[in-house]
Amino acid sequence: MINLLPPSEKENLLSEKNKKLIMVLGNVILISLICLILVLLSVQFYILGETNYHKSVLDDIESKYQTKDFLFFKSTIEEYNKDLALINAFYKKEVKYAETLKIISQLPKPEGLYLTNMLIEREINAGTKPDGIVVSLFGISNNRDSLLIFKKNIEDNKKLKNIYFPPDNWIKASNLNFYVTFKIYEE
């Protein structure tokens, strides 16, 4: 087929064809947007209905559990929870005296060396968890050799760490008053 139309008519036909195509595509997009809006509106109304239903159910349940007996038991349980928190904090700071005393009593002490006093306290780092137990032992030794043997016995014990004998323990040769500090780490 031969198209005998002049070029201006050809351009008019092509532009009208493009206009019709744009109108059809515009209508398709417009109809799609309207359908999308309708779907979103229906979802919104469904969610609002469900929200209202669940709010009414929640209000019914709250009114059911706001009775005098329920409130009394709730306050009682809250008081017990506070007490349990205090007890838990106390046990975290507790020093296990029996185990500490067992370790101290098992330290070999040479003849002529006597313990006169001891101080046992919990060491806590930065207010968080316990780091260990700090023990300070005070005593009397007949001579420096007994104190050296006692020092070696303490250093040989694997459970004791950060052992410190101050220098003034070693000044006299006999009738020494001494003290030592060390840590026992919990396992």
Q: Do 114 and 176 contact (CB within 8 A), yes or no?
A: no
Say whether domain 97-184 belongs to CATH 2.60.40.10.
Answer: no
Q: What is the pTM of this model?
A: 0.50
Distance, in Å, from the CA atom of 124 to the CA atom of 127, rounded to the nearest integer, reads 6
Of the candidates 154, 112, 109, 157, the one whose C-alpha atom is nearest the C-alpha of residue 136 is 154
- Give me the residue spans of the domains in the chain: 59-93, 97-184
Distance, in Å, from the CA atom of 148 to the CA atom of 32, rounded to the nearest integer, reads 95
pLDDT-derived band at 170, boundaries 50, 70, 90: confident
State the pLDDT at residue 37: 96
Report pLDDT digits (tens) over 27-75. 999 999 999 999 999 999 999 999 999 999 988 888 877 778 888 888 9
Structure tokens at 62: 């709250």
Q: Taking 80 as the threshold, does the pLDDT of residue 93 lie above it?
A: no
Of 187 and 175, the one with more pLDDT: 175
Distance of CA 143 to the CA centre of its chain: 52
Of 9 and 38, the one with more pLDDT: 38
